[in-house]
Amino acid sequence: MSVNGRGAMAPTLTNAELDSLREFWDVYEPQFARVGSELAEDVAAHPELSHFVGAGDNGEVAENRDRIAQAIRGRDWGPYLTDMTATGARYAEAGLSFSSWFATGRALRSKLVPLLVEALHSDPERLAQAVRGVSIFIDLVLVAVGDSYIEAKERIITEQQDVLRGLSTPVLELRSGLLLVPLIGFIDSERALLLTGNLLEAIAARRAKAIVLDITGVPAVDSAVANHLMQTVQATQLMGAHTLISGLSPENAQTLVRLGLDLARLNTVGTLADGVVAATGILRAAEARAAEYETALG
């Protein structure tokens, strides 16, 4: 028995499993509405679940029952699993914990088993089969909900990562032609690539001539980080811009020297203020050149 891939796919069930499910459903179906309302009462008492799981009106209950019947009798699991998938996604988005959702599965099981015993106690073999059917049914539901729950959680995480990535490399325009990139936190290769890409786009878009890359907020600068920075600096040079690196701490400077890296191309200056002054000088020179050229053209 397995629910392949996405939640809405039909599970592969053996004939024995289908028989078990049918045995259980024959008992459960007539009691469906009553068990549902009992469950809803229990759930209402649960601190977390009560916010998410409503009792549902009679129409919804009947629809839900028909979907299950269609799945177990008609072997068409599509509508029911689609519904469960939507439920899982809703729980994930609402921040319901996984254990709370499992608690409803447990509650359902503890309601159903006494029902089955009462109906089938004269025939132990059928009773055993029906109890197996309960397990199969609850497993299927939990897997469908769980799959989409995890999928929705992953989607949320990816979205948040995108947001964080956008935040992690802001490119600020201090004045026309002068960009400031304050780097804070650890720099890994992914972040370095993103930074380089953003910066190059910004150079093209804002016609920047000078860039100050401030690494005061970067806790550790090792050879990998230095190489990333060097690549960034070189890439900006290819576009005719000058990049200065400011805020290298004394400890990091010593580390880099001890590593024996060739840092001449890093163009480091002391503080951010020094960087801005130096960059402004570069910018002035570029502006003077442009003005001079325009005058020469007449």
- What residues make contact with other proteins under the rule CB under 8 A? 196-197, 200-201, 203-204, 207, 209, 231-232, 234-241, 286, 288-290, 292-294, 296
Question: Which tokens belong to 136?
Answer: 């199969």
Question: CB–CB of 133/24 below 8 Å?
Answer: yes
243 vs 246 by CB, closer to other proteins: 243
Question: By C-alpha distance, which of 262, 165, 172, 167 is closest to 211?
Answer: 172
**φ/ψ of residue 40, rounded to 5:** -60, -35
167 vs 296 by CB, closer to other proteins: 296
110 vs 234 by CB, closer to other proteins: 234
109 vs 191 by CB, closer to other proteins: 191
85 vs 169 by CB, closer to other proteins: 169
Task: Indicate the SS3 state at residue 179.
Answer: strand
Shortest approach of other proteins to residue 289 CB, angstroms?
4
| CA–CA distance, 203 with 261 (Å, rounded to integer) | 27
Shortest approach of other proteins to residue 284 CB, angstroms?
12
Q: How many DSSP H helices and E strands does the chain contain?
A: 9, 4
Shortest approach of other proteins to residue 213 CB, angstroms?
14
Shortest approach of other proteins to residue 8 CB, angstroms?
40
| CA–CA distance, 220 with 259 (Å, rounded to integer) | 13
Question: By C-alpha distance, which of 146, 61, 54, 43 is closest to 97?
Answer: 146
Shortest approach of other proteins to residue 239 CB, angstroms?
5
Question: By C-alpha distance, which of 238, 225, 160 is closest to 199?
Answer: 238
Shortest approach of other proteins to residue 294 CB, angstroms?
8
Instruction: Please identify which residue in the block is written with the tokens 């109906």.
Output: 119
Shortest approach of other proteins to residue 286 CB, angstroms?
7
Question: Which tokens belong to 125?
Answer: 């073999």
167 vs 238 by CB, closer to other proteins: 238
253 vs 290 by CB, closer to other proteins: 290
Altogether, the residues listed in the chain come to a count of 298
Strand 172-175: give its sheet, edge to edge: 172-175, 178-184, 210-217, 242-246
Chain-centroid distance of CA 295 in Å reads: 56
**φ/ψ of residue 47, rounded to 5:** -60, -40
86 vs 235 by CB, closer to other proteins: 235
Task: Indicate the SS3 state at residue 75.
Answer: coil
Shortest approach of other proteins to residue 275 CB, angstroms?
20
Query: Residue 220: enclosing H or E segment and its boundaries?
Result: none
